[in-house]
Structure 1
Amino acid sequence: MSNPALPFKAKLREAAADWWRSDAPTWVYVFKMVLAGLLALGIGYGLDLESPRSALITVFIVMQPQSGMILAKSFYRVIGTLVGSMAIVVFVGLFAQTPELFLLASALWIGLCTVGSAHNRNFRSYGFVLSGYTVALIGLPAALHPAITFDSVMTRVTEIMVGIVCVGLVSALVFPQASAPGLVRIIRGRFTAFVDLISATLGGSADRKQLEATNARFVGDIIGLEAMRSAAIFEDPEVRLRSGRLTRMNSEFMALSTRMHALHQLMNRLHANPAASAQVVIDAISPYFREVQPLLTRASGEPVMSALDAADAALKLDAYKRELPRRVRATRSTLAGQCQSDSAMLDFDTASELLYRVIEELHAYTLTYASMTQRHHEREQWEHSYAPKTSMTTALIAGARAAVVMLCLAGFWIASGWPSGDVAVLNAAAFCAITSAAPDPAKATRTVAIGVLFAAVAGYVYTFHILPRLDGYWMLASALMPVLMLAVYLTTKPKWAGYGLGICIFFPFLAVPDNFAHFNAAGYLNESVALVVSLLVTAVAFMVLLPPTTDWTVRVLEKQLRKQVVDACFGKLAHLALKFESGTRDLMHQITMFTTSRPLLRQKALGWMFATLEVGHAIIELRNELHGIRTEAPDLLPASAYAALNRLREAIPALFAQPSATTLASALAANDATIAEVQTAIGPHYRERSERHRLQRTLSYLHFIRTALLDEQSPLHTMRAGATNNTTGERHAT
């Protein structure tokens, strides 16, 4: 709000500056996309392409705010178009004389591509969509006229390439908006937010609900950063030089947030324990927590934010990490003299081990962040990529739905002889694939259908009342500009984006003339009806054929989420932690999208995510420790301990595969038996420090698994006999 005491000119300047900050980027984007579209249209006419509107539509399909995103999407569009074109040549060659077999093969191909689209992330998903969509878009007309198949494929690929080149050039040369600055803001903002979270958590001012809400937000941040990184590498060589470190930071951030949550949960459980020994443990470990915040604070008293500040913090964390084991051993010796409880010593060992891991992961994360100031750094050597996880069940359902919709409309087309049936078939196939990844695909398709209705009405006015009065490209461009600007502007508003998308794609399809223009009212109405009917059929299919917004879909994803613990128990140890972390968060992100209007379902899924992360991560750590013991000192544990560990490794997956009171009791019994075996192996007799430390670490992981299974906030708690659901968020004892 402007200051009323300012003179008029100052108010005007303030208002202009405010508009430039808030609204100007949107209008710059609108003008750029319309300019690119009209440029592509003009080049299409100049090259005498058969359908220049395809170049214009391509611009609107690949449009994105940042040039890196446009380049990434364009790259996968080209790949998808080329793969689809090769499929067309094969299908037409095999089935040109039998339209029914051609349509069946096309439906199966589109279904397969939709499965690939649902199973992938970012713009790779779009590449699969285009592979299927190209078969429908070019293949159906080519099947009707097999002799011109090659010419049709080459013409359409040329039209698409013209659109891609135009949108790429305009985006890069006219008020370019790079992805890299946004990437820097995300990295710095996330580091600062996590520093604040660590300070609040270890300082004792964060409760469970606050921590869970922050971790839930971090799920989206992790996936968003990976998406922006994969786009930014297309436009910025500096980002490409740091791509390995960006991926590494994401991995280290996931591991660190999991450790932090585990430590907080353990302290919460100690705080809820009425035993006097629990308070003794809290008093012994709490002073260490208060020492962490100063390590992440600058000399001025402000928290560390920039990569330059992080370099100093990394030095302090490294020194603290080296001294921590010696100090903890001294504290443990004092505690052992004060407290004779085995349970209390287990609690202290587990808390101190988790604290050390938090400091270790925090040091690694801070080092990587600090290295971002340098173009080349040894931490760039990171070959482990983000590993998304998608339910194959839901992907197969999406593919089957697309194939069924296409076959139904194709059957109606053949049976009725509908002149524009091919338009309905190819459009339905495309939108089944495009919207299958939307949180509510039926709603998304309905909003696009409303945009198509507007496009049909506006297109009729343009085609039969305005275009006949125009002469030349410049008059055509001037006439199209207002509608195109309105359509692109609507896509910038989340509430109206579906309407804008429908207008962007289908208004040019209906209103922009080919190089050989023809005015056929009956054909226009047929095509308009075909477009609307195809979208309505698609929307009905999403509402009837196992809609992704049902509770069943959420339960399938939730089951897949719990299955991550099974993979943690039996997967190959190489890179298992990263796959587990990224897969668990990716599944949770999908559940979050499907439960935007169902907070209870989302809360339950969040509970399973935290239980999965806690138990699964502890199991991976346990397996790594046992792998080292088996490799370097196999006699450190007796055969009975190995047998108990194997029984636990089977009981935990059974619990998460089929959660029940019985499987929970079996898992707890197996865990208690394993703890007893390892305690016996440690014994009261003398052992070397390294051997005792290894066994104590093993015991700590087992003890943490036990406390996680008994957590009163966990979804597993309701399965215990006589348990009641406790949803309060206690602050931990620090």
Structure 2
Amino acid sequence: MSTTVQSAPLPWSLLLFEPQKLLFSLSSFIAAAITLTIAFEFSLPRPWWALLTVYVTAQPMAGAFRPKVLYRLGGILTGALVSILVVPNLQHAPELLVLCMAAWTGVCIYLAVLDRTPRAFLFQMAAFSSAVISFPYLDDPADVFTTTISRVEEMAVAIVSVTLVHSLLQPWSARPIIHGRASAFLAHASRWTREALGQRHTRLEYEHRRMLAADVAELGMMAIHLPTTAGRRTVLGVQKQLATVLPLASAAANRLDMLSALAPLDAQLARLVEDTRAWLATPAPLQFTTGPELAMRCRALAERAEQSLSWRTLLRASLCVRMAEFIEAQVEACRLAQQLDGAPQSQEKREPTHERDRSFPLARDHGLAMLAGLATATAIMLYCAVWILLAWPSGSATAAFAALITCSFAMQDDPAPVLGRYLGATLLTFPLAAFYLFAVLPRVDGCAMLIVTLAPALLAIGYIQATPSLSARALPMFSCLIVALGFLDRFIADFATFINVGLAQVGGIIATIAVAKLFRSVSVRWTAKRMLRDNWSEIGQMASTARPFRPVHWTGKAVDRLGQIAARMAVAEGSDALHAADGLADLRIGRNVIAIRRALPTLSGPIQVSLREVLEGIAALFQARGRKGELLPPPSSLLASIDMAIATLCVRAHGASAHPALLALVGMRCNLFPTAAVPRMVCDA
């Protein structure tokens, strides 16, 4: 008896080409054809470097080309200048020359990893171009000036060609993409807050906070693609509001949890919460029009709650104020997001942009950046040592390939797994390169025929590059194919040279993997722990009254760091103290510290003494957490200081200046001591 086995049908998505990806691949190929034509027409010595630069530069989002072209060209010129200054002066001391070039490359990678903006392309191109120019020609440093000019011409032609072609054939603006990101964030924040106010705060907080914080940081990376200063300032305003939305929504949910644990909500407050949840379920344009009235209701209820102060009424007032602030921030974010979609800006709501507020702050880790730079410099020195000791004819190319690879993957926490896939894609492409070199190219005559012959391979790999799940494999495929063919002004098909170049590429990748495992194989938990310690240390410094008070940009940096931590911990295995560390609670505590320190100079002496005692306790706690890297529990003495400060403010303080400090103390107690008993004292107005 026979059985028939039917294979599962292939999805149509695998059989049909997506027009946008196909257009991207076609645009890259046209840029490559233009680059090759110019290189052969003007007799540039290494056309293959120009062709490889086209595909190294090409990226699926066309909006990224125009602003980055200046950074890339600036990096190439910087690397060329360093090569001209260093190589001739140290040509008689090859060891010192290698040391200087490796140090220069390491410094550039350090700056690129530290920067975390599109400006990092300048440092990456400076490192890559200096390595490409210097290392393959250390045997003949006298000709370095001519070589440098040729490499600059080849790479500059490629960058300008790919920028122009992609801008013309893919005229998609980054503005709709940024508007989509901002709208998605507002939708995420609305859904999260709506469900959090519905008593689902604990379960949903960690689920959503990575997505929310990551979107805030991503907007800053994309803002550089906007052509006008007004557009970039609008994105900056959206970022600031979104960074404010995150802790305010979390604080409102936290206060609601605390109130619900004491007793059922009264009818008026329950109705306000339900109305807020219903408002969050409406589209963003409707939120913009109806939000101000809802915020006024929240503030009015907060004022009525403060007329008879007790712990419960303080919690109620804190909840209402945080809800009002959240609604106002959400409304402003909706207004700015509509501007990104082309909506006109109302003159009465336009806020001036200060000189210091022209960029969104990013949290930078000097330790990780130094580690990346040290790994790059060490790798290059090892490559050059092996090349010189073995007198390998193609060994100089290994250093150039290694520089390309290390520069490409310097941003990774642990680049070794990605480099393993890079090696696999390279090995798979060697048969294709051999087929072209020994079977196809000997029958090709002229630049036009060469371009036509290369079209199938370049278009196919370009389509792979446009596919997000496969794009990491495209660069090694391009590198292997183009470098192995090694286009010169005349065709040369030498098997020994082909093998030597192939071994140089594979050797460079393997050596890079080895060095990456030695220097860069750090776990995501280790990286997250460093960031968490930095966050704790900054809160401790900000709370210390002995230090200058510099709160500018702290919230933005904390949100950015929260996104980085949550993204890494989302892929970390197991559960430990780092998973227990609540980044949003730290963010709320930091904002409470800022509120207290801002109100401190306006209050009377006895109140200042109580608040300073609280601040010093916060500073000691978070500085200890930063030093030990552990989520140390707050001491009971800090709880006593907070309760005493609340009582002092209720009895002695009156007026608007004391109000933010009082609500900040309530927030601190809720965040640091969520399970503590209700204070025995009752505040009398």
Give the structure-2-normalised TM-score: 0.88
Q: CA deviation at 1:345?
A: 3.5
Counterpart CA distance in 2 for 1:502 and 1:268 is 52
SS of residue paired to 1:28: helix
Q: Hey, what does 1:697 align to over in structure 2?
A: 660
Residue in structure 1 matched with residue 231 of structure 2 by the alignment:
242
Q: Is the 8 A contact 1:588 1:605 kept in 2?
A: no
Amino acid at match of 2:667: F
Correspondence list, 1:271-290, <5 A? 271=260, 273=261, 278-279=262-263, 285-290=269-274
Summarize the Cα distance change of 1:66–1:663 in structure 2 as closer, same or farther, 3 Å threshold. Answer: closer
Is contact 1:245–1:379 with CA below 8 Å preserved after alignment?
no
> Is 1:77–1:130's contact at 8 Å kept on the other side of the alignment?
yes
Equivalent position of 2:390 in the other structure: 416
Give distance in 2, aligned partners of 1:37 and 1:648: 63
For residue 432 of structure 1, report the CA deviation from its aligned partner.
1.8
Structure 1 partner of 2:104? 109
* Alpha-carbon distance in structure 1 between the residues aligned to 2:469 and 2:569: 18
- The corresponding residue for 2:221 is 227
Structure 2 residue 476 is the aligned partner of structure 1 residue 502: yes
Superposed CA offset, 1:123-171 (max 9, x none): 2223212111111100123433233222222211111111112111211
- Alignment map for 1:193-592 (pairs within 5 Å): 193-202=188-197, 204=198, 206-231=200-225, 233=226, 236-237=227-228, 240-271=229-260, 273=261, 278-279=262-263, 285-293=269-277, 303-306=282-285, 309=286, 311=288, 313=289, 316-322=290-296, 324-333=298-307, 342-372=310-340, 373-374=343-344, 378-379=350-351, 381=353, 383=355, 384=357, 385-438=359-412, 440-549=414-523, 551-569=525-543, 573=549, 576=552, 579-592=553-566
The offset of 1:226, in angstroms, is 1.9
Partners of 2:386 and 2:569 in 1: how far apart? 35
Other-structure match for 1:604: 578
| Structure 1 residue 166 corresponds to structure 2 residue 194 | no
- Equivalent residue for 1:6? none
Please say if residues 256 and 361 of structure 1, whose CA atoms lie closer than 8 Å, have aligned partners that are also in contact. yes
Q: CA deviation at 1:466?
A: 1.8
Match in the other structure for 1:722: none
Question: 5+ residue gaps in structure 1?
Answer: 1-14, 298-302, 337-341, 718-734
- Offset of residue 557 of structure 1: 3.0
Work out whether residues 439 and 594 of structure 1, in 8 Å CA contact, stay in contact via their aligned partners in 2: no
| Alpha-carbon RMSD | 3.1
- Kept in 1, the 8 Å contact 2:533–2:626? The answer is yes
Deviation at 1:382, TM superposition (A): 5.3
Deviations 1:473-506 (A, max 9, x none): 1221122111112222222334433322101123
Specify the SS of the correspondent of 2:467: coil
Deviation at 1:290, TM superposition (A): 2.7
SS of equivalent to 2:657: helix
Unaligned runs of 5+ in 2: 1-10, 677-685
How far does residue 296 in structure 1 lie from its aligned partner after superposition? Answer: 5.8
Letter of the 1:710 counterpart: F
Question: How far apart are residue 620 of structure 1 and its match?
Answer: 1.6
Query: Structure 1 residues 282 and 400 mapped into 2: Cα distance closer, same or farther (>3 Å)?
Result: farther
Does the CA-based 8 Å contact 2:79-2:130 persist in structure 1? yes
SS at match of 2:604: helix
Q: CA deviation at 1:264?
A: 0.6
Residues 19, 432 of structure 1: CA spacing in aligned structure 2 closer, same or farther, 3 A cutoff? closer
Distance in structure 1 (CA, Å) of the matches to 2:565 and 2:430:
36
Residue of structure 1 equivalent to 2:3: none
Whole-angstrom CA distance in 2 between matches of 1:601 and 1:89 = 53
Are the structure 2 counterparts of residues 261 and 29 from structure 1 closer, same or farther at C-alpha, using a change threshold of 3 Å? same
Match of 2:616 among 603, 627, 647: 647
Report the residue type matching 1:486 in the other structure: A
Matched-pair contact (CA < 8 Å) for 1:675–1:699 = no
Matched, 1:72 2:67: yes
C-alpha contact 2:413 2:520 (8 A) present in aligned 1: no
1:106, distance to aligned residue in structure 2 (A): 0.8
Contact residue 109 and residue 132 of structure 1 kept, 8 A: yes
Q: Deviations over 1:414-435 (max 9, x none)?
A: 1111111111112213322321
**Residue 48 of structure 1, CA deviation:** 1.3
Deviation at 1:516, TM superposition (A): 4.1
Aligned residues: 659
1-side partners of 2:613 and 2:551: how far apart? 26
TM-score normalised by L of structure 1: 0.82
CA distance in 2, matches of 1:520, 1:90: 35
Query: In the alignment, is the contact (CA less than 8 A) between 2:31 and 2:162 conserved in 1?
Result: yes
Q: Deviations over 1:528-559 (max 9, x none)?
A: 10110110111122223241336433432332
8 Å contact 1:40–1:162 — kept in the other structure?
yes
Q: Secondary structure at the match of 2:314?
A: helix
The change in CA–CA distance for 1:547 and 1:592 in structure 2 (over 3 A counts) is farther
Q: Deviations over 1:581-604 (max 9, x none)?
A: 332333344345545542545993
Q: Which residue of 657, 660, 672 corresponds with 2:626?
A: 657
Check conservation: 1:88, 1:138, Cα contact below 8 A.
yes
Residues 662 and 245 from structure 1, CA distance in 2 versus in 1: closer, same or farther, beyond 3 angstroms? closer
- Output the CA distance in 2 between the equivalents of 1:412 and 1:56: 29
Name the amino acid aligned to 1:641: S
8 Å CA contact 1:420, 1:530 repeated in 2: yes
Q: 1:648 is matched by which residue type in structure 2?
A: G
CA spacing shift, 1:283–1:651, aligned 2, 3 Å: farther
